[in-house]
Every structure is written in structure tokens, then in C-alpha cells.
């Protein structure tokens, strides 16, 4: 057995009890909202066949997939000839599986494999880790959780409206109140390409504009220029995208409609552009009838592009205001996700929450409630053999009424036992010494206030289950 100092792989983390408690507090709120909107849980395996994952995330993504070696001594079965044919050939012989890179492609695979058993529209949520061999850096990990909800098998824009409402409910329930949900539509970007005289080149525009936050307006235009977009067209693009003034004097729901209305003026010659605007208007109409207040957090942002190539309709992104953090949620509509596995024409729309970023935001804003801590409620002090003997049935009775209770397992110094309660953030300590055994009145110490009271067990049980 090796006795070297153990360590963690780069970009991975242990989650201590305190952190697990907080993370599951977030998961639970997300889950409850998804369920309230009719989404049901799905779980897919950690490993997928390489053929399922490869070619779905672009060349850059493919490089970041963690590949798993075939089991058994497959390397021994390779021949020098295999080796001479190069590493790609060799790789195919020794690795057929990989860790999932996101939850969307496994979801599409699941839908295609189970198309005959699934009732459409199929609303699923999925909360599982994914793995990417990215260079680890602050806030970017090689293993991280995604929380996705998707509905496939309907084109109804009610689904887009419900996604906005789910985002609004999740963040509000987490206590995050100052945030912006940006919305756009890929067809608006198609319309813009047409409007500036570059019909059909919206993907290139998307890829470049997606980098706006990172590289800035000027570099976006430079990148497009390098790709052969003409100066005049880029001037138009600059005007359309970046001189877009929101009507700040109007209440947000009116300004949203008025913004969309004025933006549609660019699309006198673009059917796609107009349709994009009309879809956005319909989404807003749904939201108005469901929960108008959510509109105050919604903004039309024509520079929202989202890099992923499979989006075809509305796209979303969420930022917390006044916090230095990238988007904490994003998603959109795709018309042909399952097409990659041979099942065309299944339109869907989905949203994904980034739990690591939400966690960091909540820490920064100090939003975790005490109840996010999973811990024991009462520690019974173990003074000596007689005290322990007396404590055992009390321990059992407290647990019988679902009070999480521990008896300190060893008869060690009181100070050590109190430190244990303190560090584990146990709110109550129960002391049963010879005096308490004689009187039947137990001493309950509130660890936060330091207050001590002598109480009968029944009263303690009543108080702690209230």
C-alpha cells in the first residue's frame, strides 16, 4: 500500500458536510420548482459511448471530453502496428467510453432510444455532474453539476414563458432578488444578418457576438471583419446591436413591448427577423397572463447570442445584478436536437442552472439560511458509566420523535464534548449528571445563547419538536 500523501485530481473538489448542506439547499429549491411546473426527474449514466458524445460539441469540445480506458489489459492486446498508425487509431482501440460532457446530449440519446415508450410532450429535469477537461481556474472545475429542465415534443411558446417563470421562482426562492433575465431569439439574429446584407451568415455573427462580454464590442467587429464581413455591413451591425436604446422611462413591461416594436423596424425585409420578434411578443403575452411581475426582471437583448449551434428560437441568459459573476443560467429552443441520433423534427426548449456560480453568489450575498446546515439537534454529554446508562433510553426517546440526537460515544472531558457540539454547530446540549438523575430534571443548554434550563424530558421533547 502506498503511504504517500494523498491528493485530489486537479479541478475536482471534496464537499464537506457544511457545503453539501448548502448545495442541496439549492438543488432542492430547483427541484421543487421543476416539479411544480410538471417536469419529472431523469438520470443517465456517467459514462456514454464515445460515438454518442463525439462530434456534438465542436472540435474544441471534443478535446475536453474525458475518455475512459476499456477494462481489462487492452493495451496489451494492441500491436506495434497499431502503435505505428498513430495515436488516434490507438485511442479507438483502447477507449470506447467517456464521461458525459453535458446533460443535453444524453437527454437527446435517451429520447431517441425510448421514443416509443415516452409520452410527448416529455418534460424532464436532470441534476447530475458533468466533466470537462478544461484548464482549471477560479470558479471553473473539471467536475461540476448541471441542473437542466427541458420539454420536447411541442413548439408551444407557453414553454418559453414557463422557463422565464421557473427562473424567476428559483432565484426568488433562493433569496436572489436583483437579477436580469435576458431574452433574444435566434431568428432575430438571422434577421440582423439579412438586414446588414449578410443573409445566411448568422452563425458567424452568433459566434463572434457571443464573446462580447469577454472581448468587447470592438473586437467582436474586428473578428467579423477578419472573416470577410464588409465595413459597411459591420457599421450597420454596430448600429443595430450596440446603439439599441432601451426605453428607460417606461415601466419594464411596456418598455419590453415598445423595444420589440421599434426593433422590428430593422426587419422590413426579413421574414425570419419579424418572426423572431413575434415569438418574443407571444412569450411576453403568456407571461403577462401568468405572472406579470416576472416581466420586471426580463430584458430583450439583441446581443445575446449563446454559442451553441443547436438553438433555433428563443434564447435566455440570467445575470445577477451588482455581482461580478458570469451568467448563472441559460438555455433556449432547439428544433432538431434529436436529429443527431436520427430522430428529426422534435422541437424542444430547455434551461440550465449553474449551481457552482449560484453557490458563490449566495455566499457573497450571505443568503444561505441556518436551515441549510444538516446537523444534530441535541448532543447528550457522556459523563461516566452511570450517566451513560441513564442517557441511553433518553437518546432513544428523542430519536423516536425525530429529533436528531447523539450521545457522545466516549467518557472524555466535558470541554472536549462541548467543543464537539460547538464545531458541529449542534444547537442544544443535554447534561445528565448525578443530580439530574436524582431529580429527573435534565439540564438543557442552548449553545447559542449559553442559557441553561432544568426541564423534564417531556418538556424538552415538546419544545424541540414545536
Residues in region 227-286 near its own copies by CB under 8 A: 286
| Exposure b/e, 434-463, CB count within 10 A at least 16 = b | eebbeeeebbbbeeeeeeeeebebeebbee
Which of 346, 355, 313, 314 is CA-nearest to residue 109?
346
Q: How far is the CB of 204 from its own copies (least distance, A)?
A: 20
The upper half-sphere exposure of residue 237, i.e. CA atoms within 13 Å in the direction of its Cβ, equals 31
Single out the residue of 113, 239, 250, 271 in contact with its own copies (rule: CB under 8 A): 113
The set of cell numbers assigned to 168 is 424567476
Contact residues for 332 (Cβ-Cβ < 8 A; gap 6+) = 186, 306, 308, 311, 313, 314, 315, 316, 349, 350
Q: Is 199 in the site for its own copies (CB under 8 A)?
A: no
Which of 337, 355, 358, 333 is CA-nearest to residue 346?
337
- 305 near 189, Cβ under 8 Å? yes
Q: How far is the CB of 342 from its own copies (least distance, A)?
A: 5
Of 126-134, 200-208, 241-249, 454-462, the window that binds its own copies (rule: CB under 8 A) is 126-134
Q: How far is the CB of 52 from its own copies (least distance, A)?
A: 5
Closer residue to its own copies, CB minimum distance, 211 or 424: 424
Q: How far is the CB of 263 from its own copies (least distance, A)?
A: 26
**x/- letters, 148..167, toward its own copies (CB under 8 A):** ---x--xxx-xx--------
Number of residues that bind its own copies (CB under 8 A): 108
Q: Is 27 in the site for its own copies (CB under 8 A)?
A: no
Of 128-136, 259-267, 315-323, 428-436, the window that binds its own copies (rule: CB under 8 A) is 128-136
Separation of alpha carbons 190 and 349, rounded Å: 19
The set of cell numbers assigned to 324 is 461580478
Q: 36 to 65, contacts with its own copies by CB under 8 A?
A: 36-38, 40-49, 51-52, 54-56, 63-64
Which of 33, 137, 132, 139 is CA-nearest to residue 363?
139
Torsion of CA 423, 428, 430, 431, to 10 degrees: 60
Closer residue to its own copies, CB minimum distance, 219 or 422: 422
Q: How far is the CB of 420 from its own copies (least distance, A)?
A: 6
Sign of CA dihedral 336, 339, 345, 346: negative
Q: Is 72 in the site for its own copies (CB under 8 A)?
A: yes
Q: Is 419 in the site for its own copies (CB under 8 A)?
A: yes
Q: How far is the CB of 167 from its own copies (least distance, A)?
A: 14
Q: Is 139 in the site for its own copies (CB under 8 A)?
A: no
Closer residue to its own copies, CB minimum distance, 17 or 197: 17
| Exposure b/e, 109-135, CB count within 10 A at least 16 = b | bbbbeeeeeeeebbbbbbbbebbbeee
Single out the residue of 59, 60, 71, 385 in contact with its own copies (rule: CB under 8 A): 71
- 382 near 417, Cβ under 8 Å? yes
Single out the residue of 231, 245, 370, 410 in contact with its own copies (rule: CB under 8 A): 410
Single out the residue of 131, 179, 353, 368 in contact with its own copies (rule: CB under 8 A): 131
Q: Is 356 in the site for its own copies (CB under 8 A)?
A: no
Q: Is 175 in the site for its own copies (CB under 8 A)?
A: no
The upper half-sphere exposure of residue 286, i.e. CA atoms within 13 Å in the direction of its Cβ, equals 16
Separation of alpha carbons 275 and 254, rounded Å: 20
Contact residues for 185 (Cβ-Cβ < 8 A; gap 6+) = 276, 277, 279, 280, 313, 314, 315
Q: Is 385 in the site for its own copies (CB under 8 A)?
A: no
Q: At 166, give phi and psi (nearest 5°).
A: -65, -45
Q: Is 322 in the site for its own copies (CB under 8 A)?
A: no
Q: How far is the CB of 247 from its own copies (least distance, A)?
A: 26
Q: Is 335 in the site for its own copies (CB under 8 A)?
A: no
Closer residue to its own copies, CB minimum distance, 64 or 323: 64
Q: How far is the CB of 150 from its own copies (least distance, A)?
A: 13
Q: 282 to 321, contacts with its own copies by CB under 8 A?
A: 286, 289-291
Closer residue to its own copies, CB minimum distance, 122 or 179: 122
Q: Is 4 in the site for its own copies (CB under 8 A)?
A: yes
DSSP 175: T
Amino acid at each position: 500500500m502506498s503511504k504517500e500523501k494523498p491528493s485530489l485530481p486537479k479541478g475536482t473538489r471534496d464537499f464537506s458536510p457544511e457545503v453539501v448542506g448548502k448545495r442541496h439547499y439549492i438543488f432542492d429549491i430547483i427541484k421543487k420548482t421543476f416539479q411544480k411546473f410538471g417536469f419529472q426527474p431523469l438520470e443517465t449514466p456517467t459514462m456514454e459511448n464515445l460515438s454518442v458524445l463525439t462530434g456534438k460539441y465542436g472540435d474544441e469540445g471534443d478535446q475536453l471530453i474525458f475518455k475512459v480506458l476499456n477494462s481489462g489489459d487492452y493495451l496489451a492486446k494492441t500491436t506495434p502496428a497499431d502503435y505505428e498508425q498513430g495515436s488516434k487509431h490507438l485511442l479507438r482501440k483502447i477507449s470506447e467510453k467517456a464521461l458525459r460532457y453535458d446533460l443535453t446530449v444524453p437527454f437527446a440519446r435517451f429520447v431517441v432510444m425510448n421514443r416509443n415508450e415516452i409520452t410527448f410532450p416529455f418534460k424532464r429535469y436532470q441534476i447530475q455532474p458533468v466533466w470537462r477537461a478544461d484548464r482549471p481556474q477560479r470558479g471553473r472545475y473539471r467536475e461540476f453539476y448541471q441542473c437542466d429542465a427541458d420539454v420536447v415534443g411541442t413548439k408551444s411558446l407557453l414553454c418559453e414563458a414557463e422557463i422565464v417563470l421557473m427562473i424567476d421562482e428559483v432565484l426568488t426562492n433562493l433569496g436572489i432578488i436583483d437579477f436580469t433575465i435576458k431574452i433574444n431569439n435566434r431568428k432575430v439574429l438571422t434577421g440582423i444578418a439579412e438586414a446588414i446584407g449578410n443573409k445566411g451568415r448568422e452563425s458567424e455573427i452568433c459566434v463572434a457576438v457571443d464573446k462580447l462580454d469577454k472581448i468587447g464590442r470592438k473586437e467582436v467587429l474586428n473578428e467579423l471583419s477578419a472573416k470577410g464581413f464588409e465595413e459597411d455591413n459591420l457599421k450597420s451591425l454596430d448600429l443595430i446591436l450596440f446603439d439599441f436604446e432601451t426605453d428607460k422611462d417606461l415601466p419594464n413591461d411596456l418598455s419590453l413591448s415598445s423595444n420589440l416594436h421599434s426593433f422590428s423596424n430593422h426587419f422590413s425585409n426579413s421574414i425570419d427577423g419579424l418572426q423572431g420578434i413575434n415569438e418574443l411578443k407571444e412569450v411576453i403575452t403568456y407571461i403577462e397572463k401568468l405572472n406579470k411581475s416576472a416581466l420586471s426582471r426580463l430584458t430583450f437583448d439583441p446581443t445575446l447570442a449563446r454559442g451553441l449551434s443547436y438553438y433555433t428560437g428563443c434564447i435566455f441568459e440570467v445575470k445577477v445584478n451588482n455581482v461580478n459573476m458570469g451568467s448563472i443560467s441559460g438555455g433556449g429552443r432547439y428544433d432538431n436536437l434529436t436529429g443527431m441520433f436520427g430522430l428529426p423534427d422534435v422541437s424542444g426548449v430547455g434551461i440550465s442552472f449553474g449551481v457552482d456560480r449560484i453557490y458563490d453568489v449566495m455566499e457573497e450575498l450571505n443568503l444561505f439560511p441556518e436551515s441549510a446546515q444538516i446537523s444534530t439537534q441535541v448532543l447528550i454529554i457522556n459523563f461516566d458509566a452511570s450517566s451513560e446508562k441513564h442517557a441511553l433510553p433518553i437518546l432513544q426517546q428523542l430519536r423516536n420523535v425525530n429529533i436528531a440526537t447523539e450521545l457522545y460515544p466516549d467518557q472524555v472531558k466535558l470541554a472536549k464534548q462541548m467543543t464537539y457540539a460547538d464545531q458541529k454547530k449542534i444547537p442544544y446540549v443535554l447534561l445528565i449528571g448525578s443530580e439530574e438523575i436524582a431529580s429527573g430534571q435534565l439540564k438543557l443548554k442552548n449553545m447559542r445563547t449559553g442559557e441553561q434550563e432544568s426541564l423534564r424530558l417531556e418538556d424538552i421533547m415538546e419544545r424541540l419538536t414545536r
